[in-house]
Amino acid sequence: MSETRASLDRLARHGIRPNRELGQNFLIDDNILEIIGRAAELDPADAVVEIGGGLGVLSSYLAQRVRHVHVIETDSRLEPVLRDALAGHEAATSLVIGDVMRTRLSGLDPLPGKVVANLPYGVATPAILKTIDELPDAELWCVMVQREIAGRLAAKPGTKAYGIPSVLVQLACEVEVMRPISRNVFRPVPNVDSALVRMRRTAPAPSDELAALVRAAFAHRRKALARSLEEAGGPAGIRAAVRAALEEMGHPADARAETLAPQEFAQLERELERPG
């Protein structure tokens, strides 16, 4: 029996309906599994975390191919469905029922080196940022996200999609949009299409201070960067200091945040930290 058929049978047996408030769109197409597996470069020695186990289609696939998979699922109703899906692989799997945003990822044992998931739409971006920050050993992400989110993660400076997620993710990872994913591989069928995104770690997560600078820089994205940082509550003299730093970096003093590449935000932080 295919993973899809087995998962739908488990759903019917337990009488569970998808929860729209949780953004549940369950993966039900077996064909996409091999695509994910190849993109994730799965290895028998891998420890993986999957966020949003759903019906266990991907969970079961991973459990048969890696050393250990941690499955995090917020909907407690799905626990028996997932335990059915992981039956026979208990020694190589851990099931965490809880909100990923409240889960101490650094406490997972063994620590995951990869994140492979069909991410729930509502938490996709914060979940990615959390894993970058709390899983320093993670080197590769292979995630399905809403196509619009994929565009933001990979966006280049000066584009409409470029913003806080683009900068924070690209400071730590190289981002590649692998391919579009049809909405028809999910049930219920969502109103949007998805995309498969692969990210490779290139640096540690940005510091809290750098992340705060990026968020403040885009707080008023239609205004000059120096003005945005001032209005976001920067210290006295921040506007003049930012204007001077931008010119030192080769940008106009009134440049907007969207014109700076991710690494230039790190450079801007260093410029601002220099003694007067």
Domain ranges of the chain: 3-201, 208-273
Residue 8: pLDDT band (50, 70, 90) is low
Give CA–CA dist 276/273, Å, rounded. Answer: 9
Classify residue 11 as exposed, middle or buried by CB count within 10 Å of its CB (0-12, 13-18, 19+).
Answer: buried
- The CATH architecture of the domain made up of 208-273 is Orthogonal Bundle (1.10)
Residue at token pair 């994140």: 115
Two structure tokens written together for 179: 């391919």
- Given a cut of 80, is residue 9 above it in pLDDT? no
Give the pLDDT of residue 129: 98
Q: What is the 3-state secondary structure (H, E, C) of the chain?
A: CCHHHHHHHHHHHCCCCCCHHHCCCEECCCHHHHHHHHHCCCCCCCEEEEECCCCCHHHHHHHCCCCEEEEEECCHHHHHHHHHHCCCCHHHEEEEECCHHHCCHHHCCCCCCEEEEECCHHHHHHHHHHHHHHCCCCCEEEEEEEHHHHHHHHCCCCCCCCCHHHHHHHCCEEEEEEEEECHHHEECCCCCCEEEEEEEECCCCCCHHHHHHHHHHCCCCCCCHHHHHHHCCCCCCHHHHHHHHHHHCCCCCCCCHHHCCHHHHHHHHHHHHCCC
Domain 3-201 CATH class label: alpha beta
Give the pLDDT of residue 118: 93
Kindly report the average pLDDT of the chain as a whole number: 91
- Tell me: the pLDDT tens digits for 132-181? 999 999 999 999 999 999 999 999 999 999 999 999 999 999 999 999 99
Two structure tokens written together for 15: 């009488």
- Tell me: the pLDDT tens digits for 86-98? 999 999 999 999 9
- Given a cut of 50, is residue 1 above it in pLDDT? no
Give CA–CA dist 158/260, Å, rounded. Answer: 8
Closest CA to 59 of 118, 140, 18: 118
Judge whether 223 and 235 are in contact, CB under 8 Å: no
Residue 272: pLDDT band (50, 70, 90) is very high
